[in-house]
Amino acid sequence: MGTLDTLFAPDGVAVVGATESEGSVGRAVMENLLDGYDGIVVPVNPNADTVFDVPAVDSVTDAEGVELAVVVVPPTIVNTVLEECGESGIQDVAVITAGFGEAGSEGAQLESQMKAIAAEYDLNLVGPNCIGVINTPTGMNATFSPKFPIEGQISFMSQSGAFITAVLDWASDQDLGFKDVVSLGNKAVMDERDFVEYWGEDPDTDVVLGYLEDIERGQEFIETAQKVTSEGTPIVAVKSGRTEAGASAAASHTGAIAGSERAYEAGLQQAGVIRATGVQELFDYATILEGQPTPDTNEVAIVTNAGGPGVMSTDAIGDSQLEMADLNDDTVERLEDTMPDGANIYNPVDVLGDAPTDRFEDALEIVLDDPNVGSVIVVACPTAVLDFERLADAIVAASETTDVPIAASLMGGHSADAAEKILGEVGIPSYFDPARGINGLDALYEFAQLQERGYEPPTEFDVDRERARSILERTRERENNSLGVEAMDLLEAYGIPIPEGAIVDSPGEAVEAAESIDGDVVMKIVSPDILHKSDIGGVEVGVPNDEVADTYGDLISRARNYHPDAHIIGVQVQEMADLDAGTETIVGMNRDPQFGPLVMFGLGGIFVEVLEDATFRVAPVSESEATSMLDEIDSAPLLRGARGRDPVDEGDVIETIQRISQLVTDFPAIMELDINPLVATPEGVSAVDIRLTVDQEEL
Amino acid sequence: MGTLDTLFAPDGVAVVGATESEGSVGRAVMENLLDGYDGIVVPVNPNADTVFDVPAVDSVTDAEGVELAVVVVPPTIVNTVLEECGESGIQDVAVITAGFGEAGSEGAQLESQMKAIAAEYDLNLVGPNCIGVINTPTGMNATFSPKFPIEGQISFMSQSGAFITAVLDWASDQDLGFKDVVSLGNKAVMDERDFVEYWGEDPDTDVVLGYLEDIERGQEFIETAQKVTSEGTPIVAVKSGRTEAGASAAASHTGAIAGSERAYEAGLQQAGVIRATGVQELFDYATILEGQPTPDTNEVAIVTNAGGPGVMSTDAIGDSQLEMADLNDDTVERLEDTMPDGANIYNPVDVLGDAPTDRFEDALEIVLDDPNVGSVIVVACPTAVLDFERLADAIVAASETTDVPIAASLMGGHSADAAEKILGEVGIPSYFDPARGINGLDALYEFAQLQERGYEPPTEFDVDRERARSILERTRERENNSLGVEAMDLLEAYGIPIPEGAIVDSPGEAVEAAESIDGDVVMKIVSPDILHKSDIGGVEVGVPNDEVADTYGDLISRARNYHPDAHIIGVQVQEMADLDAGTETIVGMNRDPQFGPLVMFGLGGIFVEVLEDATFRVAPVSESEATSMLDEIDSAPLLRGARGRDPVDEGDVIETIQRISQLVTDFPAIMELDINPLVATPEGVSAVDIRLTVDQEEL
């Protein structure tokens, strides 16, 4: 796939299916293109000589000077058109026509053919089932939506075409400018990753916005988005179908197979996508990311003329990752010298209700000088002595002398409109509700952190991959795809500590194994047909050496009683884990249809199973990602010495997460895996039990 | 205190401190009153013959036909004026003047005098340190803020005067009407409770709105608000100073002693106050509560012409207490008959992008007929065939035939303005972001539930109050105000089961006590000077009868070693609680400065102490409130049979919470109390240990 320059800014556009017929899509697209596009427009229609006085050609192969074809013909003809495009060297195509993957098996078949043709000719194909493409610098509206946005630095992709029409209608009244807009449709060929990649390198795109219902190729998306974000272009997205209720609607909408919300949460976070919960947040974030620099610290100074709104702003800061700036002594002194008696010279700085513009100006200048202050919000209530427009001018002037981001809340109705326009022109957002401005500053800070985070490759541990493969291949010999404690050596092959022990198949061997282990032992039945060993009395803890032989017999007969035909591999004789000194954790993995291997961490027992206190990452997991998993769970204090326990060795837990990440990345055949428990102690970790499922076809 | 009718709609207003002096508050108030107020205005100013051509009087005692005095004279003169008001029968006063409680000790003293005068003359006093009072039906603007709102059914109180000026400025462009507006100021005399009570009985107030930084007299507020809400008037409030950061700003603002957020959370919930997190929510909720009926169910139907916005709306429903309506068979059949192929006839109902108004109309009519549907949101994207104004007319027509609340999201910019106006006139909110409309429907549903909840008096258990008093009085005999296990009989007096046992002070008595108990016993040192008994080896568990005498000696000597001067009451010999069969819970109480006794419930051990998984209610706690406490904690499944445990007797836990609520309500002297653990088993509960602190002056 080449650059998308010719998709968004082609020298000429062919409209395949152009017509003057009232109410048709072909007519709307022609009208939109003829209205302002600075390139060539060629209508393709074998039944017309001209369309709106433009000479028509019979086939796209006859269209000259054209780099983009917009296709609006019926679905059964589309693939023929695409072949013609390929043959005649048109690489960029937007298929507006619907009736493909979203419309039953026949449509799905057409869409498969479409993919094959696109692959053959290396087409940059948008859609099908979309509203088209917009580019403001060339004035190109290659959609059937009548509204054309003003030019700006935001590029926007949406999986809902209707949402684009709504946003364009709304944005035209908001002074919100766009560069490229693309309707993703069914994403038969190009998807969100392609556009994120292109806009990441596009000097004219400052912010990438997305409305997404699902994400294709999750791991590749993460990689691309991470790169784009760390190189300075923020990506903000609403991922819709978030909640269970929403996901079912998404599935019936475009036939998208929605990944689980947990996977998206992890994946988007790792990708560095700033997630907006709704439409308002999406554009609030876009506005401030486009207009303001990123902050150096998370500390915010509030400058206000009113106590109440100062408190509200402080609340909003408390709800975010931001903090109230701790103004330094010099700042406080200067404020004391400059402000009248009664003013609050600590944060929130209250310049009092009788403050004219210049008092705001002075306070703003002083707090902007404070190195602790990462960002500033000016919150002003209307008073008899305050002129919002003059205040806006003062804020703009202050912003020109600083790299500290500024937001405003001029708390008025239309009386604030002119001032908001002045601020908007230099990229300073202003809303009635100060919480919106603070939310925006929070997004800026998040972006600053994402840029700082950069890209950290996962650690490559020295492991015995061949040994692991041979252990996984044991499943070939059985009907069942799951492995249990008999696969403990898989962990050993990947350098994860396991208790001393052995799997034996006679009482004598059991005694021998137990004697080689210090102290009492744990004995467990080993059978692929018995998943819940404890439930059938298949586990005995604290067995002294002289009872090992009898216990062996008991375990075998319990297993036989439970399941006469069970394939019994033997009995595991294992060193006792020092559970009292340790904390049970779980490290697990599930394979998500979109994002692939999703690694889980949490505390064992009730914590994951009842309280659902667990955290997820898409593998491969880097060291800092694994570290943050430990920070994220609510029960983390239990690992860190709460209630008089000794803190566990967190480093070993973090390393185990990474080693499991490496294992499941190396072997796509592992579909599910649970180490439960992984006992963590002050001295290290020990994986006491394992269960995993393998897809033999992937081996 | 009489009715507030004459405060908000007086026949005449005296402005004490009226003047023509440029930039003064006295001038601004006069100007505002002379502009539109339909009553008599009397300026009071001994140095002026007239103010704005209105004849002035020297003293408020000379003002005739006046029911309200607005006071703007310097703080040192205010109290004299108040006495004059009292003497001359003016009961309603708004003191705008600042310089009282918020301004140091001198001001605080003036404020105390003010309270005494108000009490003597039974004054309805607003302020001091406020911006005044507004009433739209009489056109009275008795504030110094120039904006006057349009008339409506919302009454609004605010602890921030500046916020009122901001809201009035903004609301005038939003078609948002008010009835009464009051600036609470320092709340020296009248506070939020008084206004909630008055507006609850005011037929012209449909919704009560508040911006509050603290709440005085928490328990009385709860009682009044509960009554007002259950009788049909919703109360919506922003409680500012929510977060820790916010609370410290509130404290430095009006000298308010902010109660803890936990207490406010519990108190406002019990009061039935619908809590808005910010300004936008405050007015969104007000708009829909004023304009729409309450829903019968929490199920919402979405009618839309676009898949994407349908999914977004579904997400927003998933984020709320609402659910996607399950349309019944008849509805689905009727939609199938009426809608074109490809339309989604399940919820969200998608009438497709080519839908003209009448298709929306049909779908709306059908879903409104479905008894499952509690409320409806119409979400429309702009298309070539859809006219927003005609759609708005259709929605209005549909709303006139139903009691089902309706919200709209016409997703356009100014192209939706005229339609939104049509909807707004009949009280149907419409926002670009469908989530805002759904949030509003959620608030409506919350109000429906609050009305249904009504008022439930706390259960009065038959207890031995005199015995409890005598136990609490034991603290008189000692220096220390705290009681420990020696107060277990306090629980007995209030009918809370405790293990069998006794406090003894000799080895012989210990043996005797142990022999009367089945099985081994627990022995604990009892001393007001030893709080953490376990830490000094002051607790022995599982003591067989033949070791009781020796253990007695050990415990006493360990206590002596630890603290030679400790006052040792003796040793408690207690039945062993069956901890394996039970779950440790905690029932506790803390006295909050605003709300009084705050009862806590949670699970023992790590759950409250590490995970902070606890829930609070202001006492007295009714049975349904106590029941909801069990539902609220995350660890509730552990009480209900998670992981193979037997479910505990929840009824006994709920009863214990109520009995503790009764105890701490009966004895305001109890400052803090912890039953830790209260062991809950399938058979009942047993309070194993207690600790409490008493304020002897309250006994």
Q: Taking a C-beta distance cutoff of 8 angstroms, is the pair B606, B688 a contact?
A: no
Secondary structure class of A367 (helix, strand, coil): helix
Q: Is residue A675 in some structural domain?
A: yes
Nearest CA in chain B to A283: B433
Could you report how far apart the first and last alpha carbons of chain B are, in Å?
31
Closest CA to A377 of A469, A436, A302, A461: A302
B485 backbone dihedrals φ, ψ, rounded to 5°:
-55, -20
Chain B residues with CB-CB distance to A385 below 8 A: 23
Contacts of A161 in chain B (CB under 8 A): 308, 353
Q: What CATH number is given to the structural domain containing A646?
A: 3.30.470.20
Q: Edge to edge, what strands does the sheet with B539-543 contain?
A: B501-504, B570-575, B521-526, B539-543
From A475's Cα to the closest Cα of chain B, the distance in A is 30
Quote the pLDDT of residue B356: 94
Average pLDDT taken over every residue of chain B: 91
- Judge contact between A551 and A541, C-beta under 8 A: no
Q: In B, which residues are within 8 Å of A159 by CB distance?
A: 308
CB contact under 8 A, A314 and B243: yes
Listing from the earlier edge strand, what are the strands of the sheet with A177-183? A140-143, A132-135, A177-183, A150-158, A207-212, A235-239, A274-275
Inter-chain contact B383–A162, Cβ cutoff 8 Å?
yes
Q: What is the pLDDT of residue A1?
A: 45
Contact B381 A162 (CB under 8 A): yes
pLDDT recorded at residue B242: 65
For an interface test with B, which of A212, A299, A315 has the most B Cβ atoms less than 10 Å from its Cβ? Answer: A315
The residue from B575, B594, B609 where one domain ends is B575
- Are B357 and B348 in contact, with CB atoms under 8 Å apart? no
Contacts of A432 in chain B (CB under 8 A): 166, 170, 279-280
Chain A nearest CA to B75, separation (Å): 16
Of B173, B432, B610, the CB nearest to A279: B432
Q: Do B318 and A244 touch (CB under 8 A)?
A: yes
Contact yes or no for A315 and B240 at CB 8 A: yes
Q: A254 lies in a domain?
A: no
Domain-embedded: residue A166: no
**Among A151-165, A369-383, B68-82, B230-244, the least confident range:** B230-244
* Domain assignment of residue A99, yes or no: yes
User: Are B655 and B681 in a shared domain?
Assistant: yes
Residue in B162, B246, B638 nearest the CB of A306: B162
Residue type, A10: P
B286 assigned to some structural domain:
no
Min Cα separation B584/chain A (Å): 15
Burial of A477 (0-12, 13-18, 19+ CB in 10 A): exposed
Reported as a single tens digit per residue, the pLDDT across B590-640 is 888 888 899 999 998 788 878 888 899 999 999 999 999 999 999 999 999
My answer on whether A506 and A523 are in the same domain is yes
Taking contacts as CB-CB distances below 8 angstroms, the residues of chain B near A309 are 160, 162-163, 166
User: Are A16 and A112 found together in one domain?
Assistant: yes
| pLDDT at site B484 | 83
User: Which amino acid belongs to residue A142?
Assistant: A
Lowest mean pLDDT among B27-31, B215-219, B606-610: B606-610
User: Could you give the CA distance from residue A86 to residue A90 in angstroms, rounded to a whole number?
Assistant: 6
Tell me how close the Cα of B160 comes to any Cα of chain A, in angstroms: 5
> Does residue B228 lie within any of the structural domains?
no
Strands B406-410 and B132-135: unpaired
- The DSSP-derived string for B245-313 is HHHHHHHHHH---PPPHHHHHHHHHHHTPEEPSSHHHHHHHHHHHHHSPPPSSSEEEEEES-HHHHHHH
Contact B383, B353 (CB under 8 A): yes
Domain boundary (A84, A119, A144) is at: A144
- Residue B153: name the closest of B179, B174, B175, B173 by CA: B179
Tens of pLDDT along A38-56?
Answer: 999 999 999 999 999 999 9
CB contact under 8 A, B318 and A245: yes
Residue B421, pLDDT above cutoff 90? yes
Reported pTM: 0.91
pLDDT in tens, B271-323: 999 999 888 899 999 999 999 999 999 999 999 999 999 999 999 999 999 99
* A23, two tokens: 């109410």
Res. B254 pLDDT band, cuts 50 70 90: very low
Chain B residue at shortest CA distance from A309: B163
- One-letter amino acid of A281: E
What b-and-e string marks burial along A177-206, b requiring 16 or more CB atoms within 10 Å of the CB?
ebbbbbbbbbbbbbbbbbbbbbbbebebbb
Torsion of the alpha carbons at A353, A356, A357 and A358, rounded to the nearest 10: -120
* Residue in B249, B252, B413 closest to A169 by CB: B413
Show residues of chain A in contact with B344, CB under 8 Å.
Answer: 252
> Confidence class of residue B250 from pLDDT cuts 50, 70 and 90?
very low
Verify that B422 and B543 share a domain, yes or no: no
Q: Which chain A residues are Cβ-neighbours of B311 within 8 angstroms? A: 160, 213, 240-241, 246, 249-250, 253
Q: State whether B172 and A413 contact (CB < 8 Å).
A: yes
Same domain for B446 and B407, yes or no, is yes
**pLDDT at res. A216:** 86
Task: Name which of B241, B317, B642 is nearest A245 (Cβ-Cβ).
Answer: B317
A527 and A666 within one domain = no
Instruction: Verify that B430 and B315 share a domain, yes or no.
Output: yes
Q: CA–CA separation, B644 vs B648, rounded Å?
A: 12
For B318, which of A172, A246, A348 is closest by C-beta distance? A246
Q: List Cβ neighbours of A654 (8 Å cut-off, separation of 6 or more).
A: A623, A626, A627, A629, A630
CA distance A567 to A558: 13
Q: In chain B, whose CA is at the least distance from the CA of A342?
A: B103
Q: Do B381 and A166 touch (CB under 8 A)?
A: yes
Token pair recorded at residue B20:
């023509």
Give the CA angle between residues B341, B395, B378 to the nearest 5°: 55
Domain limits at B19? 1-144
| Neighboring chain B residues of A238 at a CB cutoff of 8 Å | 312
* From B250, B311, B605, residue closest to A249, measured CB to CB: B311
- Terminal CA-CA length for chain A: 31
CA B528 – CA B403 distance, rounded (Å): 63
Q: Is the pLDDT of residue B247 over 60?
A: no
Q: How many domains does chain A have?
A: 4
Question: H helices within B15-54, ranges in order?
Answer: 25-34
In this prediction, residue B335 carries a pLDDT of 97
Rounded CA separation B448/B459 (Å): 25
Mutate to test the interface with B, among A147, A163, A243, A311 (most CBs of B within 10 A): A311
Domain CATH code at residue B506: 3.30.1490.20
Q: Give the minimum alpha-carbon distance from A632 to chain B in angstroms, rounded to a whole number.
A: 13
Find the mean pLDDT for residues B451-459. Answer: 86
Q: Among all chains, which residue has been given the structure tokens 């209610």? A: B617
Identify whether residues A549 and A627 lie together within a single domain.
no
CA angle, B647 then B651 then B655, to 5°: 140
- Binary contact (A307, B162; C-beta < 8 A): yes
> Residue A416 and residue A414: Cα distance in Å, rounded?
5
Query: Chain A: nearest CA to B550, how far in angstroms?
Result: 29
Instruction: Report the residue from A240, A385, A605 with minimal CB separation from B308.
Output: A240
Closest Cα to residue B541, out of B555, B523, B528?
B523
- Closest CA of chain A from B510, distance in Å: 32
Count CA atoms within 13 Å of residue B78 on its CB side: 30
Closest to B174 (Cβ–Cβ): which among A159, A324, A413?
A: A413
**Cβ pair B311:A250 closer than 8 A:** yes
Indicate if A420 and A540 belong to the same structural domain: no
Query: ipTM of this model?
Result: 0.89
B420 and B370 within one domain:
yes
The last residue of one of the domains, among A144, A163, A185, is A144
Residue with tokens 């992890």: A266
Which residue of B242, B382, B634 is in closest CB contact with A315? B242
Interface residue of A312, A344, A433, A606 to substitute, partner B, most B CBs within 10 Å: A312
pLDDT tens digits, residue range A585-633?
999 998 888 888 999 999 987 888 788 888 999 999 999 999 999 999 9
In this prediction, residue B579 carries a pLDDT of: 60
Report the C-alpha gap between A492 and A469 in whole angstroms: 13
Chain A residues lying within 8 Å of B306, measured CB to CB: 160, 162-163, 166
Report the candidate in A505, A500, A507, A506 with the shortest Cα–Cα distance to residue A522: A500
Answer yes or no: is A45 within a domain.
Answer: yes
Cα distance between residue A189 and residue A1, in whole Å: 10
B583 in the same domain as B571: no
Q: What is the CATH number of the domain that holds B115?
A: 3.40.50.720
CA distance A480 to chain B (A): 27
Nearest C-alpha neighbor of B383 from the set B407, B366, B360, B367? B360
Between chains, do A162 and B213 touch, taking CB under 8 Å as contact?
no
Residues of A in contact with B416 (CB under 8 A): 169
Residue B252 has pLDDT above 70, yes or no: no
Residue among A240, A278, A414 whose CB faces B433 most closely: A278
Residues 6+ apart with CB under 8 A from A79: A110, A113, A114, A117
Comparing A169-173, B345-349, B443-447, B464-468, which segment has the lowest mean pLDDT? Answer: A169-173
Q: Which residues in chain A come in under a pLDDT of 70?
A: 1-2, 242-259, 578-580
Residues above pLDDT 90, as percent of chain B: 75
Question: Per the CB < 8 Å rule, is A162 touching B308?
Answer: yes
Q: Are residues A68 and A127 in the same domain?
A: yes
Which residues contact residue A466 at a Cβ distance below 8 angstroms, ignoring those fewer than 6 apart? none
- Of the candidates B142, B140, B135, which has an alpha carbon nearest to the alpha carbon of residue B38? B140
Domain with residue A320: its CATH number is 3.40.50.261
Contacts A–B by Cβ distance under 8 A: 258
Could you say which of A160, A165, A211 has the minimum Cβ distance to residue B382? A165
The answer to whether residue B460 sits within a structural domain is: no
**Per-residue pLDDT, A256:** 33
